[in-house]
Structure 1
Amino acid sequence: MLPALSELLADAHVVALPMRVRFRGITTREAMVLRGPAGWTEFSPFVEYDDAEAAAWLRGAIDFGWTEHVPAAASVPVNATVPAIEPGAVAGLLARYPGCTTAKVKVAEPGTTIDDDVARVAEVRRVMGRAASVRVDANGLWTVDQAAEALERLAPYDLQYAEQPCRTVPELAALRSRIAGLGVPIAADESVRKASDPLAVARAGAADVLVVKAQPLGGITAALSVIESAGLPCVVSSALDTSVGLGMGAFLAAAAMSPGYAAGLGTAAMFEGDVTPDPLLPADGRIGVRRVDAAPSLVARFAALPARTAWWRSRLERVHALLAAAPTCS
């Protein structure tokens, strides 16, 4: 059942966490953390998402905050995340991910070139060594031709997979066929979490791996259903969550991660601060599977400006109304 709006807002707080480096074009991550009967949870769809898309994120927040979930493991392995930085900054950034043996490297960043991407991936491989797993993530920003050219140049660095190299499912299918001889698997992210049918990419044979995120898929319960139906290896990742939201992802990863893959849940290392004094930071290449409590002092320290808080509360009210109008949620 959908909690009343007043219940959601009773202990809801909007924070603005400063980031160490620009990522996804932002330097500050806004999020709403709120407390339900099962514990703290998070509602943090990116600000450019419309209310219809944000509705799944609110279902995810409610699922975690109003449902008891039992951890299936004490910890999960996580990857380091390398934004579109200069090669000279790679070693220092990777040092924030102690023990991690997998790295996800952002590529196709607007304003950069394939040469920049190759140099960044080459430096990650040099610093981490040949035994490490290296992934690249283009966020759907390449055309099929651009992706084929880029992956041909990146393939010698032994990629674990290329995440969302193109935007659409037909493009992913065409690319997967075109680069079949390169030995670079294709992973789908946006084609899962932003799709009206998250299983379409699997049915189309357009991906080798699915990247799943708890909030955008409607929470742990809904995401587990997608993973079970997909029949493909799955990697659980974050959406630049606070440590509260990372806890949600950790519960999902413990229940559903495919062996041999690290989760993309080490992103607390990208923030200058968090809502807890004990954030889910990587240690020995892993994070714990636990619920995280937001600390009042840190919620106050990183509180968003009043106008932004009002914007988020209004957004929550509108999205709650959408869920209330849906027969399965009212």
Structure 2
Amino acid sequence: MLPPLTDLLEAASVVRLPLRRRFRGITEREAVVLEGPAGWGEFAPFLEYGPAESARWLAAGVEAAWRGLPAPRRTRVEVNATVPAVPADDVPAVLAAFPGCRTAKVKVAEAGAPFGTRLAEDLARVRAVREVLGPAGRVRVDANAGWSVPQALEALTALGEVGLEYAEQPCATLEEMAEVRRRLAAAGTPVPLAADESVRKAEDPLRVAGLEAADVVVVKVAPLSGVARALEVAAACGLPVVVSSALDTSVGLAAGTALAAALPQLPHACGLGTAALLAADVSARPLLPVDGALPVGPARADRELLERHRADPGREAWWRRRIADCHAVLAAGAGG
């Protein structure tokens, strides 16, 4: 059910939204929201992604806007706070933007400084999070594949002393993660691992399970071509699932909550509270955590906000070319 390109371009609004703090190396988030017959969808692959990878994100936006999302099993989804790679002194202010959240995901292994310096900063940040959440709070870290196997073992041994729910994507490949998991277990270091970046295609979760590379699978709607495909991935992996976002607007987050609400089991808080990282949004009622959770339901873009945060003509033209490139991939059957 791929709409004609002319319909997609007519339905598209390109926005540029400021972030409250630098996150993933950026201070602004560009995105496209699509208004279709079933509601609103989002297309916002990161700028470095090529057409083949980005086409899956377009498929997810088309699904939400043209086909609609599945019926929910629950009406609210517990979410985690997200702590960027900030100095430890900034942690209380960051966590204050996530009221009621008893789980925090802390970014570690930020590129730039030498490993030892980064690890000392990471440890201080994680300790600060633990101090705010208290002993009953759940703390998880996300390395975004930033460590080698030896670095992951050293870092997780140190960070594990603070008490971790799990460590997300410590290394780039599933083979490396499997080695880290085996060696942590042999050393008696109880840090479960979660696979994120290494779960992007339908066959990936089967490899995660077969290699015994992770204890948890992190699933995101857009990179997996939409909620329907993500539900298939979640069912195939045979592991606990955490639904996460990709720094989405509230329109994209609504698809994430739809996925989380449709899962048979949801044992962990989800990484869907990231609208708190945006200084502006496309919805007049942004999906922000209340008592540590998000409501489940559709999100509507506000036309006044779309106009206020409209990208400049050059960026708008760039995104429209990107939509055309991704539409061609989907039309040829090479994406989705």
Q: TM-score, normalised by structure 2?
A: 0.95
SS class of match (2:89): helix
* 8 Å contact from structure 1 (residues 201, 207) kept in 2: yes
Instruction: Give me the CA root mean square deviation.
Output: 1.4
Q: What residue is the counterpart of 1:101 in the other structure?
A: 102
| 1:61 counterpart letter in structure 2 | G
Deviates more, 1:4-13 or 1:116-125: 4-13
Report Cα offsets for 1:26-82 as digits up to 9, x if no partner. Answer: 000000001111101001110100001011111111111112322322110000000
Q: What residue is the counterpart of 1:261 in the other structure?
A: 268
Please report how far the alpha carbon of residue 196 of structure 1 lies from its aligned counterpart in structure 2 after TM superposition: 6.6
Q: What residue is the counterpart of 1:166 in the other structure?
A: 171
* 8 Å contact from structure 1 (residues 33, 41) kept in 2: yes
Q: Are residues 94 and 328 of structure 1, via their aligned partners in 2, closer, same or farther at CA, if it must alter by over 3 Å?
A: closer
Q: How does 1:148-167 map to 2 (within 5 A)?
A: 148-167=153-172
Q: Which runs of 5+ in 2 are unaligned?
A: none
* 8 Å contact from structure 2 (residues 55, 335) kept in 1: no
| 1:218 counterpart letter in structure 2 | S
Q: Are residues 131 and 257 of structure 1, via their aligned partners in 2, closer, same or farther at CA, if it must alter by over 3 Å?
A: farther
* 8 Å contact from structure 1 (residues 236, 257) kept in 2: no
Q: How does 1:88-127 map to 2 (within 5 A)?
A: 88-112=89-113, 113-127=118-132
SS class of match (2:128): helix
| 2:99 counterpart letter in structure 1 | P
CA distance in 1, matches of 2:78, 2:174: 29
CA distance in 2, matches of 1:304, 1:280: 22
User: Which 4+ stretches in 1 moved above 4 angstroms?
Assistant: none
CA distance in 2, matches of 1:260, 1:229: 17
Q: Are residues 193 and 257 of structure 1, via their aligned partners in 2, closer, same or farther at CA, if it must alter by over 3 Å?
A: farther
| 1:172 counterpart letter in structure 2 | M
Deviates more, 1:63-72 or 1:52-61: 63-72
Q: What residue is the counterpart of 1:81 in the other structure?
A: 82
CA distance in 1, matches of 2:18, 2:278: 6
CA distance in 1, matches of 2:189, 2:181: 10
CA distance in 1, matches of 2:195, 2:309: 33
CA distance in 2, matches of 1:143, 1:257: 35
| 2:29 counterpart letter in structure 1 | R
CA distance in 2, matches of 1:20, 1:264: 17
CA distance in 2, matches of 1:260, 1:190: 21
Aligned residues: 329
Percent of matched pairs sharing the same residue? 55
Q: TM-score, normalised by structure 1?
A: 0.97
Q: What residue is the counterpart of 2:248 in the other structure?
A: 241
CA distance in 1, matches of 2:24, 2:258: 25
Q: Are residues 80 and 328 of structure 1, via their aligned partners in 2, closer, same or farther at CA, if it must alter by over 3 Å?
A: closer
Work out whether 1:283 is the aligned partner of 2:286: no
CA distance in 2, matches of 1:222, 1:36: 20
CA distance in 2, matches of 1:29, 1:202: 34
Q: What residue is the counterpart of 1:204 in the other structure?
A: 211
Q: What residue is the counterpart of 1:303 in the other structure?
A: 310
Q: Are residues 328 and 246 of structure 1, via their aligned partners in 2, closer, same or farther at CA, if it must alter by over 3 Å?
A: closer
Q: Are residues 219 and 160 of structure 1, via their aligned partners in 2, closer, same or farther at CA, if it must alter by over 3 Å?
A: same
Q: What residue is the counterpart of 1:5 in the other structure?
A: 5
| 1:107 counterpart letter in structure 2 | V
Q: Which runs of 5+ in 1 are unaligned?
A: none
* 8 Å contact from structure 2 (residues 45, 54) kept in 1: yes
| 1:281 counterpart letter in structure 2 | L
Deviates more, 1:166-175 or 1:250-259: 250-259
